[in-house]
Amino acid sequence: MDVDTFLASNQGSWDRLSVLVQRAGRSVQRLSPDEIEEMVSLYERTATQLSYARTTYRDPALTATLSSLVARAGAVVYGSRPRTLRALGQFFAVTFPAAVWYSRRFILISAALLLVPAFAVGVWVGTSPRAVEATGPKAVREAYINQDFEQYYRSAPASQFASQVFTNNVQVSIYAFAAGIAFCVPTALILMFNGANIGVAGGLFASVGETAKFFGLILPHGLLELTAVIIAGAAGLRLGWTLIDPGDRPRRAALTDEGRRALAIVAGLVVVFLAAGTIEGFVTGSSLPTWARVGIGVLGEALLLTWLVVRGRAAEAKGLTGALGETA
């Protein structure tokens, strides 16, 4: 969207955040619990929009305005408020992993929709000279394998590149999630398309015996990144399936219930994408040896999966499903 549309679409939420920040002053204790939750949500959304505005519009006035608002809101949210900190801690320790664990069957389906095309296309391109030729001219393929793919991760200063990657990944996850409302089909296509693209890239490297180079560049950040995309896709699939089969609940009530859980997943994934973007910006294109770069990615993935499984199972034992506002 152009900058005028961006402003028109978001000005209302920025004004509301500014009002809440002014009312809170130096303490969120002046706000009701619902207003605190609203302010935290608006703050997170505005911080993401600031990153998007920086990389997309490069409008100094807009960037300055949003930076000021995010700074003022952040000072209130994180500066002094135990209630807010407890709420954030509760979200990441309980709500988010509970929502992910509750959706684990859809996560398996989402993973299959992304990884099966990736593997199938990768094997096809990697073993078929005709498939390789269909991907593009020889000179373009050689440049991609020998230079372009690796240089992409060094195409901008690390902090700027990490910010751009984070914004792009959040957008992809939101698309995959939101598209699920159309009875799952668009989300499934998004996952399959992204998987096929990964397969093409991997197949091109495999066709010239450079598979290790491909995985050395994709695994450091890709493990977290693809896991987050798969989870976001699962949230979209579950939302769409609720429209198809709401169970014993009225369709509107079922959609509202699943929507609260899906939003918790998408909000939590922002942190995962931030970690993946940071690794992609500062580690993937760095001069570290391949084993160290891949090791960082594996460690990050292991920590994420352990956290989600352990905390998710614990939440399930308490009867929690991860819907926003849920209490044990």
Q: Map the chain to HEC letters.
A: CCHHHHHHHHHHHHHHHHHHHHHHCCCHHHCCHHHHHHHHHHHHHHHHHHHHHHHHCCCHHHHHHHHHHHHHHHHHHHHCCHHHHHHHHHHHHHHHHHHHHHCHHHHHHHHHHHHHHHHHHHHHHHHCHHHHHHCCCHHHHHHHHHHHHHHHCCCCCHHHHHHHHHHHHHHHHHHHHHHHHCCCHHHHHHHHHHHHHHHHHHHHHHHCCCHHHHHHHHHHHHHHHHHHHHHHHHHHHHHHHHHHCCCCCCHHHHHHHHHHHHHHHHHHHHHHHHHHHHHHHHHHCCCCCHHHHHHHHHHHHHHHHHHHHHHHHHHHHCCCCCCCCCCC
Q: Please give the pLDDT value at position 324.
A: 81
Instruction: Give the Cα separation of 126 and 207 in Å (integer).
Output: 4
Residue of 289, 114, 282, 113 lying closest to 212 (CA atoms): 289
Q: Please give the pLDDT value at position 44.
A: 83
Residue with structure tokens 């926003």? 324
Q: Please give the pLDDT value at position 208.
A: 94
Q: Please give the pLDDT value at position 169.
A: 75
In the predicted model, residues of the chain with pLDDT beneath 50 are 80-81
Q: Where does residue 10 rank: exposed (0-12), middle (13-18), buried (19+ CB within 10 A)?
A: middle
Tokens standing for 108? 């398996």
Tokens standing for 264? 């918790």
Q: Please give the pLDDT value at position 327.
A: 63
Q: Please give the pLDDT value at position 279.
A: 94
Tokens standing for 58? 């490069």
Tell whether the torsion through CA atoms of 19, 23, 26 and 29 is positive or negative: negative
Instruction: Give the Cα separation of 140 and 156 in Å (integer).
Output: 22
Instruction: Give the Cα separation of 183 and 236 in Å (integer).
Output: 9
Instruction: Give the Cα separation of 166 and 281 in Å (integer).
Output: 9
Q: Please give the pLDDT value at position 234.
A: 95
Alpha carbon 40 to chain centroid, angstroms:
18
Tokens standing for 213? 């180079």
51-96 pLDDT tens trace: 778 777 777 788 888 888 888 887 777 664 455 567 788 899 999 9
Q: Please give the pLDDT value at position 80.
A: 47
